[in-house]
Amino acid sequence: MTARESTGSAGTGVGSDRAALRHVLSHLVTPLLMCIGMGLAYLGAFHAPEPHALRVDVVGSGTTAQVLAQSLQGKGDGALSVNTVADRATAVDHLRTQRSFGAYLPGSSPELLVASASSDTSATVAQKVFTEVAAAQGSPLRVTDVAPTADGDPTGQGIFFLLVAVSIGSYASVAVIGGAGAVLALRVRAGLALGTSLAVSAIGAAFAGPVFGLVDQGLGGLWAMAWLYSAGILLIGVGLHTFLKRWTTLGVMLLFVMLNFTSSGGIFRPELQPGFFGSLHAFWNGAGFVEGVRSHVYFGGHALGGHVLVLALWFVAGLAVVGLAGLAEAKHRRDAAERQRMAAAARRASAVPSVATGATGAVEEEMEEAVGV
C-alpha cells in the first residue's frame, strides 16, 4: 500500500468515526430531554405536597361547630375549605360522593370520618389536622373509615401503580409498532394498536384481580376502562409516529408519563398539588382512569360518566390523529410517486441508468426508536 493510500484510508476511518460520534450525540438528546422532563414533572408535582382548599366538614349546627369551623378556616390560610353540616348522615354522604375528605364530630369523644378509597394522602392530612384539634381539647381522636380500600390495596395507591403498568405497556408498544411496523399500512398498524390494547388491558385486569387483589369487585368495569385508556394511548402514539418519527417516544412520554402520572391523583389529589397539575386532573386521561376506577369500585358509580367521557374523548382523539396520519401518508405516497415519475422521465431523456438508493438509514432510524424504549 502506498503512503497516499494509507493516508486516505486513515482519513476515511477518522471521518467515519466522527460521523458515528455525531450520530450518537444527536441521539443522546432524547434521553437528556427525558431526564429534564421527568425531573421537572415529578419533582414539580410531588416534592412538596401542601393542601390548598382541601374540603373538610365540621358536624353540628350549634355555636361550637360554627366557631371551630371559622377558626380552622382562618388558621389554615387557604389550606382548608371548612364547612359545617347538620348531621353525621350528611357528612358521610359528602365523603361518599367525594365532596369532602374529612368530617369532624366534636364532643367529649371526638370522631373523624374519612374515605381512604378517595385518597389516602388526603385522609392522612385531614387526620393530622383534627388530631391536633382533639388534642387541644384534651381528648383522643377516633377515626372511622366510611369507604376503605380493598384488602389487597391497603395504601389505596394500587390503582396508581396499575395505571403505571398499563401506561408503560401501551406507550412502549407504540415504538415497536411505529418502528418495526413502519413498512406496514397505517390501517394494519392501527389494527395492531387496538389488538395490543386488548392484551395490555387484560394483563392489567389480571394484576388488579386474581394476581394482587387490588379490587374486590367491579373487575369487568375496570378492564373496560383499562382498554379504553390503553387504546387511546396506542392510537395517539401510532398516529403521532407519522409526524414525529424517532421523536415519538419522547412525545408519548411527555403526554402519558410526565404530565399523566403526575396529574392522575393516584398519589396526591389536586388539592395537595401545585395548580398546574391540579388543573390537568380535570381532563387528562390518567386521571380519568384512576378516578373512574375509584368511582366504579368504591363509590357506587358516583360521577363515573364524566370519567368515562374523558377516556372516550382521548380515544376519539386517537382516532382523529390516526385519520390525520392517514391523510399525511397518502399525500406522501402521491408526492413520492410523482417524483419517481419525473425521475423516470428524466432518465429516459438522458439515457443514464438509475443508481439505486437504499432506505436502510431510514429503517435504522425507525428501529432505533424501538430500542430506545
Least confident of 21-30, 83-92, 345-354: 345-354
Confidence of residue 253 (pLDDT cuts 50, 70, 90): very high
Q: Report the pLDDT averaged over residues 122-126.
A: 96
Q: What is the percent of the chain with per-residue pLDDT over 70, rounded to a whole number?
A: 90
pLDDT over 90 (residue 26): no
Least confident of 186-195, 218-227, 228-237, 351-360: 351-360
Q: Given this model, what pLDDT does residue 355 score? A: 43
pLDDT digits (tens, 9 = 90+) for 308-330: 999 999 999 999 999 999 999 99
Q: Given this model, what pLDDT does residue 9 score? A: 54
Task: Answer with the residue of higher pLDDT: 359 or 170.
Answer: 170
Whole-angstrom distance, CA of residue 320 vs CA of residue 370: 24
Cβ-Cβ contacts under 8 Å for 74 (sequence gap 6 or more)? none
DSSP per residue, 65-131: HHHHHHHHHHHHTTSEEEEEESSHHHHHHHHHTTS-S-EEE-SSS-EEEE-TTT-HHHHHHHHHHHH
In three-state secondary structure terms, 42 is: helix
pLDDT over 80 (residue 57): yes
Q: Given this model, what pLDDT does residue 27 score? A: 79
Whole-angstrom distance, CA of residue 124 vs CA of residue 116: 8
Cβ-contact 93, 130 below 8 angstroms: no
pLDDT over 80 (residue 13): no
Provide the terminal-to-terminal Cα distance of the chain, rounded to the nearest Å: 45
Whole-angstrom distance, CA of residue 341 vs CA of residue 197: 40
pLDDT over 50 (residue 371): no
Q: Given this model, what pLDDT does residue 349 score? A: 84
Q: What is the percent of the chain with per-residue pLDDT over 90, rounded to a whole number?
A: 73
Q: How many CB atoms lie within 10 A of CB 169?
A: 20
Sheet holding 103-105, edge to edge: 80-85, 54-59, 103-105, 111-114, 142-145
Confidence of residue 151 (pLDDT cuts 50, 70, 90): very high
Q: Report the pLDDT averaged over residues 216-236.
A: 97
Whole-angstrom distance, CA of residue 314 vs CA of residue 310: 6
Which of 295, 300, 294 is closest to 159 using CA atoms?
294
Confidence of residue 30 (pLDDT cuts 50, 70, 90): confident
Q: Given this model, what pLDDT does residue 2 score? A: 55
Cβ-contact 231, 197 below 8 angstroms: yes
Least confident of 95-99, 110-114, 160-164, 348-352: 348-352
Q: Given this model, what pLDDT does residue 354 score? A: 46
